[in-house]
A = this chain, B = another copy of it.
Amino acid sequence: MTKSQDHVLAIDAMGGDAGPKAVVEGVAYAIQRGLKNKIIFFGDKAQLEPLIAAAPETRDAEIRHADNVVSMTDKPMHVLRRGRDTSMWAAVTAVSEGEVSAVVSGGNTGALMAVSRKQLGMIEGVDRPAVTALWPTPRGRSVVLDVGANVDADENQLVQFAIMGEAFFRALTEVERPTVGLLNVGAEDLKGHELIRTAARVLREADPDMSFHGFVEGNDISKGTVDVVVTDGFTGNVALKSAEGAARLLGEWIKQTLTGSLNAKLGALMMAPGLKKLKDRMDPGSNNGGVFLGINGIVVKSHGGADARGVASAVNMAASLANRPFRDEIISTVQAVMERRARLSDAKETTVKAAVV
């Protein structure tokens, strides 16, 4: 078995709105807190050298110079055609060439997805990629997928998302049997789309090893009812952004409450330790990092606006996935479930025919 430090991580240092400074500081922050993997930064050498010199934790990191940068407004097709000299392209290509085990980028999501699909391809048996998001719960955090790679998903894709999400959660948390739920609506006479019901049936019948909970509703996500919440990219994106928007509005109201009067300000001082904890809990940075599951290689998308702590979360996520056999698990489970599914469908048809005869 390879040791975790053998797994090298490629960091696209030029992605993100905050520029390479937040990226290098984020890697330094992760190393301070125990990250052991070797790091290769991809980007502009002239900008990176002084940043690395200023962050002694990163002194063992390597720099790979890239002349160019993918901008946040570049169209994915444009990057595919003309982006070979960018830091993003070089960092992803280091995965496809086997030089590194995972890549982290805070750049343009559409371009990162397009370059990853082109350079790494899909895992065998998986139709489409899904993007993950971490979601805070009273028990820690859950993972929701897909939050935006595709606007829809058929029943087979939902089943594949469930398998990939479960393997992802296990690799990230070392929880042996994460629970999985399919996002649905609850009202009596409209229990979801037909295809969600089919996906639930397939998961129950064809994946006996999965701890499949059944359907969950929107409010179950923040409750932590299950570890892995599966949905299509349209619904997942709307759920995530709606909840983020509500949390931001509440955060604004809390701020107004704490600064609304002199007394309130004094009161806020008295609860400073608790407020610090509340702020940490509400910090989106601690949940930063979305993985492109289904891509044949580990690609972690960091939020473009992430600060050093946020970048560190994404880098640690890449390390957790690189250090564990989660991709092999996805390949073998997807294959087994899809085969079992085919056999079950055949068996049903045979039974139906027998009944008709």
Across the interface, which residues of B come within 8 angstroms of A188, CB to CB?
Answer: 75-76, 109-110
Complex alpha-carbon distance, A99 and B150, angstroms? 51
Residues A257 and B275 in contact, CB atoms below 8 Å apart = yes
Residues A274 and B260 in contact, CB atoms below 8 Å apart = yes
Across the interface, which residues of B come within 8 angstroms of A258, CB to CB?
Answer: 271, 274
- A245 within 8 A of partner (CB): yes
Residues B267 and A271 in contact, CB atoms below 8 Å apart = yes
- A348 within 8 A of partner (CB): no
Contact of A185 among B148, B231, B260 (CB under 8 A): B148
CB-based nearest B residue for A229? B242
Give the A interface residue count (CB, 8 A).
71
Contact of A221 among B137, B217, B242, B269 (CB under 8 A): B242
CB-based nearest B residue for A114? B189
- A205 within 8 A of partner (CB): no
Interface residue SS majority, chain A: helix
- A354 within 8 A of partner (CB): no
Complex alpha-carbon distance, A194 and B220, angstroms? 29
198-248 of chain A: CB within 8 A of chain B: 217-223, 231, 233-235, 237-248
The smallest C-beta distance from A186 to any residue of chain B, in angstroms, reads 8
- A277 within 8 A of partner (CB): yes
Complex alpha-carbon distance, A149 and B185, angstroms? 10
Contact of A257 among B114, B186, B263, B274 (CB under 8 A): B274
Residues B242 and A218 in contact, CB atoms below 8 Å apart = yes
Contact of A240 among B193, B218, B267 (CB under 8 A): B218
- A59 within 8 A of partner (CB): no
Contact of A151 among B190, B253, B261 (CB under 8 A): B190
Contact of A246 among B246, B263, B268 (CB under 8 A): B246
- A46 within 8 A of partner (CB): no
Given contacts A237-B218, A269-B267, A270-B264, contact A152 B189 (CB under 8 A): no
The smallest C-beta distance from A276 to any residue of chain B, in angstroms, reads 9
CB-based nearest B residue for A223? B245
Please give 9 more A-B residue pairs, beta carbons under 8 A apart, in addition to A152-B193, A221-B242: A136-B249, A151-B192, A190-B233, A217-B238, A250-B282, A256-B274, A260-B271, A260-B273, A261-B273
Residues of chain A whose beta carbon lies under 8 Å from any beta carbon of chain B: 75-76, 109-110, 114, 136-138, 148-152, 183, 185-190, 192-193, 217-223, 231, 233-235, 237-254, 256-258, 260-261, 263-264, 266-271, 273-275, 277-278, 281-282
Q: List 8 A-B contacts (CB under 8 A).
A: A110-B189, A193-B234, A218-B241, A221-B242, A223-B249, A253-B278, A261-B273, A264-B273
